[in-house]
Structure 1
Amino acid sequence: MSLAQSVKTVAALAERSELERIKVAIESVGDAVYDWTSANDELVWSGPIDNLMGPDVAAKLKMGRDFLKGIGDEGRAARERELRRAILARTGFTAEYKFDLGNGEPMWLEERGTCFMDDTGALARIVGVVRDVTERKKREARLTFLATYDELTGHLNRSRLCAALSEALTQAQRHQRQGAYVVIGIDGLALINESHGYDIADELIQMVGERISYALRKHDLMGRVAGNKFGVVLPNAARDDMELVASRLLEAVRAEPFQTSAGKTIATISIGCVELDSGVKSSQEAMSRAEEALDSAKRNGRDCYVVHHASPAKVSWRRRNRAVADSIVSALAENRMKLAFQPIVHTDSAKTAMYECLIRMEKPGGEIASAGEFIPVAEQLGLVRLIDQRVQELVIAEARRSPGVTFTFNVSGYTASDTPWMRKFLEVMEENQDIAKQLVVELTETVALRDVDESVSFLKALRGLGCRVAIDDFGAGYTSFRNLQALDVDIVKIDGAFVRDLASSADNRMFVKTLVELAKNFGVEVIAEWVETDAEVKILKEYGVEYLQGFLYGAGKMETPWRS
């Protein structure tokens, strides 16, 4: 053998060895390797083709045409498009298609191949691998399903129903067509949960949903909008049509018991209805109005329907709330929430002891809105937690800029009852523990007494971080000796309603004196709010009140005199 022949032999062996390694690596992940020759249509397999296809099917796949038969017309067309693209671009190809195994359950295959051309440019050979991707396709199909449908019932999910409602509303208003939306609540589902468990409740939800769907008109669209609620869009439905559908649904559900795994169960539904007229501006508004009507149906004894009637006053109230909500969100996003500072003074010297931080909203034009203009709406619409979070951020930032100055700020009742938010609040305070001694956190008395054990834990954690804690509106909740002792606070702020007219009201004087004595018994300092006259100051000083707050000493202002 010549040297040149030896070199060729070694190179061939090296190439074969490399190919063997590649083949083993591919086969180790369960892929089957094929080599198809155009001249004789021969299809040669290597790797776990028997495991992939099953031995009976694999034994029949000796020719290319045999393999193509299993793919089916749609899959063959898609594969052919990928082949043509690969041949023109001189690149590899990838195709996915169903393959019929003959057992009624087609598998999904992913094929990756490389085309080899002869001297004339015609396709001579394809070498590639096929892989079972059935499980991935099932997962993708499931995700696609869940993007549109509710997993438990198979009806539309809330987002898709909302989109359908938006389309129906657009059609109704653009083409002067009538339409309606109804929301359906299953009565007493909580009792089913408690008595039989969530599995039986889920069964009932499915069965009620099926019975509702059978009673609907052909073009009505149904979806699950909450745990025990379904929504139905009624296109081209006049008022009479809407009420007829609602009556039919009530009768369909109450007609006979439902046979669950726990036995026969009787169920009824309540329905809230709204017409898609010019007064409804969005799908969210339609859903909100239907929910209001549903609440009325439940108050009326359940197993009935109520049609929403929008009074002019309610429409005006809703529009105002929507405008205020938009302004709150914009102010939060654009950093237009500001602090005003009201002085709290020492009773003896009238010198400022601390400042209460009061939230203000700067409007786009520069005007300042007081808390009373937007906080009630924020509480109704669930935005107050975001405001409380911003207040905390602003107070901490001001305390950092103002060493030695003490600031008090209030946590709203809605936020104080939200355990996850309270944890976050404590985490932020822990991160800023170095300035905690400058802060007094206020909790209203009624909120503190709502869950005494939870309040005790929260206030104890705050004190452990170095903050002082205060009970605001002291007297409004009639705190008992035991509760005041349990809360273990540093300061109480007497409700201003009892301080007002203190000089002229014997009842107020007696009540305030009793509150001060109660606080003194536990070594708690007292702040009197709403102080407006010298006569009130004199009485409060006699009672031993340590601090005073009110217009007599200054309203809340955005200036920061301690820095100037």
Structure 2
Amino acid sequence: MAGLVTVFVLAGLRQDDKARVRERTALLASLRAREAVMAQALVTTNDEQDTLKHLVSGDFTPLHRSFGLKLHDGFGFEFVYITDARGNVIYSSERGQQNQLHAFSWIRPAIQRALAEGQKAALSGVVASQDAAGLMVARPFDEKVEGLDVAQPLVAITVDVIDPDFLRMVGGPASLDDVELIQHPHGGERKPGVFVPNLYDGSEAELVWRSTQPGSRMLWGLMPAAVVLTSLLAVLFLVLMVRARRMAAALIASEAKARALAARDYLTGLLNRGAFIEALDAAIAGRRNGETLALLFVDLDDFKEINDRAGHAAGDDLLRAVARRLEEALGEGTLVARFGGDEFVAALRCREDGDLDRVVERLFRMLEPPVLLEQGGELGVSASVGAARVPQDAATGADLMRLADVALYKAKADGAGLFRLFEPGFEQAQIRRRHVEAELAAALDKGEIKLVYQPQVDVESERIVGFEVLARWDHPIRGRILPGEFMPVAESSRLMGRFDTYVLRLALVEARALPGVTLSVNMSALNLRNGAIFQTVAEALAETGFDPARLEIEITESAILDAAGDTQAALEKLRDMGVRLALDDFGTGHASLVHVRRFPITKLKIDKSFILNLGTDRDASAIVEYVVRLGRSLGITLTAEGVETREQLRFLRAFGAQQAQGYLFAPPLPLVAAAAMLERQQAAAHGVAAPDAAGGAGVPEASAVSRQPS
């Protein structure tokens, strides 16, 4: 309230200051206007030639009638004089009476001062003495006259007495009341004023008045309301103080509860990341000599798929159940936290060498039973666990967490539901992985990624109908590197999108040497999930001019399962362009033909694990036969991968599969060999022997091509 009052007071004072400035300006303007009227009156009433003629002849009566009386009676100017250049009076009229000099005693100093200073000072202004005060205007004659023995030029002077009527007249245009003239202003409390030069003695006089003070009036108007409001606020403050004293105890009690809640994960009630890290650092600092502190990173396997398949509510139920089982398995005194998503962390003290193994074994045992969901049903759960220890592996909390994360990564890389305790070689593996990632990025820049082409043949005629594009890395030092070594690195890094684009564009350029057949190019699930697949393919086709009808994009089952609405729209746009879509490794994941029908799939590629057991495993044969028949009924082409024997090909023909691919026909071939193989087939179709890659006559059978891996 004090601050508010201060603001209002300052605003009011500022408003008063502005009002005083306006009033000063208006009063000075009114005074100058009066001087202008007096100067104009001198000009209009004073005919210099006539006046000089009367002065020379000494005939002052007509001069008084035409000059002095006119200024007095017509304009109300009390005193009129004509003096020589030294201020000596030649003609005078005071209050209409000729030859009167009663007031000239207090006017003379001003006249003499004005004439002595000449052009340096105005010949008009305020004259104020102890006897009287007036506004004087003097105007020198333009002409000089012979016959007068006086100092020339002559000067016509008129004075308007400053009395209450004059002050009201001057203050009227400025809307000012109680205007006064003070000859010798003094300090102390006084009204607003404006200083004007006093021609009487060269000092300053002051015009003062009663200011309107709009700001002060506003403040006085608001003061009662301010007093009432202040009183109400004071009462309210006292009430709040009384309540605050009563609430103090409750606030102190709730503060501890708030701190505890701030340190907890909202879903599971476990510690959150910040609270756990703080507690871990304290536990490491308080560790006794010879005591081991183990840190466990627990990550649920395939949690994203569970979440997508069963819904987020079921995923939340699963996380809460896992949190309870972790606390129960690890026991009291163990720090357990959820870092986010499906990542749990625990820290426990181990006094004996086997403590950690026993705890992990109990943890896996507790996680085995399915989790019962609140909305009905149950979910199975498994987890991968990585661990590191203080002081064996690390000395600080940050290093301990980093190494436990490395161990978890190793556990997940080796398979689901595994435990790995950190070993120095794990970190070296991650360093190597990062090194491979950097080298792979450089390989894309340098064009070290090469393409090979494996034929896809018609099962009945064994004629080539297409080629699948496969990538190989020709490392300058390590030689040729197969995809199994570098593709996991690309998929887990940000290189996958760039890698797919590189392979697709290079394949479309090289495929000009493979006319008349389709070209199958694999695209990663990453490109499918982020919706970039349509733009990537469309730009590559536009840049290379490749026929979209000859292009077949291969995607995996897992990519289909993770696909959202945007993905389906992107695939349908590709289909509308004429691009074909194949589902690779069908049968290895969880996709079914029901899922397949949601997307514009034109081909299913049956995984080679089923083809390998054809003729030896009745279940494998039954599965392949069922998939082929059902696919044909839906109008979807079936391609069998990994065909290596004639017996497998015979079964595929019997089942009705349309296409096959494998070492029975040819391994992945360099572009030159693939083109030569296609050329031999085309030549055989026309009954002409085409030269082989070595320059000799080729054989028409596709199986005559070397089947050694490339």
Q: When the two structures are superposed, what TM-score results if normalisation uses the length of structure 1? A: 0.47
Structure label with greater radius of gyration: 2
